[in-house]
């Protein structure tokens, strides 16, 4: 081993160690850094348009883009989150005080079933719903209690939240202003051919924009429609259900139906026929149509991934990374597919002369 090779390997080891140390010190604020990068990618086209149209300085253009991002993407999420916490606290108090009696509703549901279905439940060992009732009550209490405790813990964690929030805004400003130079430096450092680096970068940008914009639009539209029909039918805690439907709409094929379908079935079996029919028709032909029409346009068109892969990667990403996983999961899956596609093409290209 000559001296040049030894120096090169030593430098690589040093570079890996320094990179690991750098990532380690960023971990306490990884969420802020992650969303600054994601929002920077999403709003970069707006930054370029403003720069080309008005010819402003980059600092002023980045500040204007950051203001737009704050108004249409960040503040609405914070407001909805605060309202959700308040709604969860109210539901918890109602359950604890007995004003919201889930056990009573479950008993009414069982009594409203036709004799045939009650007999069928008895035959399969589900006639005694006390265990199921206790589980539902316990789950409802735990979920609403979690949201209720967030209302109190938020005050204790306000300082950390504010620090992370301003770190995200600070980084987002510089990513918008200097993003092009940062991308160019990263591309120079990646040891791949230029066409491969360009394809990976384009794929990464498309997946991020399609996943975030597509899923966010889907969530907002389905959650708003679901909350509207729940409010129109006088279903309690419509905002809470709306947020749940918006969250579950991130899952392809399943989506908001996990929430509205059982409620519609309860209406139909409890004798509230017109409410059940209206909710079923609205869920299938309005909420379901949004999923059928918008998802391929907003998500599938740019990611070019099948629904089953989006579903698995979204669930897996959220299981590993929490809420951030709804972006990280599909992004990793898309880059996995792109990397293997590039490898296959490169391998075929090498074999062609032979």
pLDDT (tens digit, 9 = 90+) per residue, 31-54?
A: 888 888 888 888 888 888 888 877
Diameter of the chain by CA atoms? 87
pTM exceeds cut of 0.85: no
pLDDT at 249 over 80: no
Among 264, 267, 225, residue whose Cα is nearest residue 242: 225
Q: Which of 78-82, 88-92, 338-342 has the lowest mean pLDDT?
A: 88-92
* pLDDT at 349 > cutoff 60: yes
- Alpha-carbon distances of 331 from 159, 305, 327, rounded to whole Å: 31, 11, 6
pLDDT average, residue stretch 328-341: 79
**Is 343 within 8 Å of 319 (Cβ atoms)?**
no
What's the confidence (pLDDT) of residue 223? 86
Instruction: Please give the residue that has the higher pLDDT: either 322 or 234.
Output: 234
The percentage of residues in the chain with a pLDDT greater than 90, rounded to a whole number, is: 1
pLDDT at 125: 55
Residue 18 pLDDT greater than 60, yes or no = yes
What is the pLDDT, as a whole number, of residue 154? Answer: 47
pLDDT tens per residue, range 177-208: 888 888 888 878 777 777 777 877 777 777 77
Provide the pLDDT for residue 155.
Answer: 46
C-alpha span between 85 and 154 (Å, rounded): 10
* The pLDDT value given to residue 16: 84
Exposed, middle or buried by CB within 10 Å (0-12, 13-18, 19+), for 111?
exposed
Give the tokens for residue 193.
Answer: 């051919």
Q: What share of the chain is helix, strand, coil (3-state, %, to 5)?
A: 90, 0, 10
Euclidean distance between CA atoms 242 and 225, whole angstroms: 8
pLDDT score at 352: 45
Q: Which residues of 138-147 are buried (b: 16+ CB within 10 A; e: fewer)?
A: eeebebbbeb
Torsion of CA 248, 249, 254, 259, to 10 degrees: 50
Average pLDDT of every residue of the chain: 75
Q: Which residues contact 161 (CB under 8 A, 6 or more apart)?
A: 154
Query: DSSP assignment, residue 2?
Result: -
Confidence tier at 338 by pLDDT (50, 70, 90): confident
* CB contact at 8 A, 255 and 248: yes
φ, ψ of residue 233 to 5 degrees: the values are -90, 10
Highest mean pLDDT among 252-261, 279-288, 319-328, 345-354: 279-288
Instruction: Report pLDDT for 156.
Output: 46
The tens digit of pLDDT for each residue in 53-84 reads 777 778 888 888 999 988 887 888 777 777 77
Across the range 329-337, mean pLDDT stands at 80
- pLDDT bracket for residue 354 (50, 70, 90): very low
The mean per-residue pLDDT over the stretch 260-282 comes to 84
Res. 111: pLDDT tops 50: yes
- The whole-number pLDDT of residue 145 equals 53
pLDDT score recorded for residue 112: 64
User: Confidence class of residue 331 from pLDDT cuts 50, 70 and 90?
Assistant: confident
* Interval 130-177: pLDDT, tens: 555 555 556 555 555 555 555 444 444 566 777 888 899 999 998 888
pLDDT at site 152: 46
Domain boundaries, the chain: 28-182, 191-344
Percent of the chain at pLDDT above 70? 72
């Amino acid at each position: 081993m000559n001296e040049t090779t030894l120096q090169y390997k030593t430098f690589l080891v040093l570079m890996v160690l320094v990179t690991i140390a750098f990532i380690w010190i960023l971990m306490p604020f990884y969420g802020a850094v992650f969303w600054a990068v994601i929002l920077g990618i999403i709003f970069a086209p707006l930054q370029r348009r403003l720069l080309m149209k008005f010819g402003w300085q980059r600092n002023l253009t980045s500040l204007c883009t950051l203001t737009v991002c704050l108004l249409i993407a960040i503040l609405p999420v914070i407001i909805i989150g605060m309202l959700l916490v308040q709604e969860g606290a109210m539901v918890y108090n109602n359950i604890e005080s007995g004003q919201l009696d889930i056990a009573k509703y479950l008993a009414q549901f069982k009594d409203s079933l036709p004799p045939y279905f009650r007999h069928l439940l008895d035959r399969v060992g589900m006639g005694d719903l006390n265990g199921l009732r206790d589980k539902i009550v316990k789950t409802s209490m735990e979920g609403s209690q979690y949201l209720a405790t967030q209302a109190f813990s938020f005050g204790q964690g306000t300082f950390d939240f504010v620090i992370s929030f301003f770190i995200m805004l600070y980084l987002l400003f510089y990513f918008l202003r200097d993003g092009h130079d940062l991308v160019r430096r990263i591309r120079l450092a990646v040891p791949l051919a230029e066409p491969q680096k360009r394809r990976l970068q384009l794929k990464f940008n498309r997946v991020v924009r399609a996943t975030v914009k597509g899923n966010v639009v889907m969530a907002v539209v389905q959650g708003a429609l679901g909350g509207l029909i729940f409010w129109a039918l006088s279903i309690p805690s419509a905002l809470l259900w709306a947020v749940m439907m918006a969250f579950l709409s991130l899952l392809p094929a399943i989506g908001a139906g996990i929430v509205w379908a059982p409620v519609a079935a309860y209406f139909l079996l409890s004798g509230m026929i017109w409410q059940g029919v209206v909710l079923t028709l609205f869920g299938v032909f309005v909420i379901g149509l949004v999923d059928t029409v918008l998802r391929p346009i907003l998500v599938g068109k740019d990611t070019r991934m099948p629904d089953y892969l989006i579903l698995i990667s979204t669930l897996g990403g959220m299981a590993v990374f929490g809420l951030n996983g709804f972006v990280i999961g599909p992004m990793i899956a898309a880059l996995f597919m792109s990397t293997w596609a590039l490898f296959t093409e490169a391998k075929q290209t090498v074999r062609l002369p032979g």
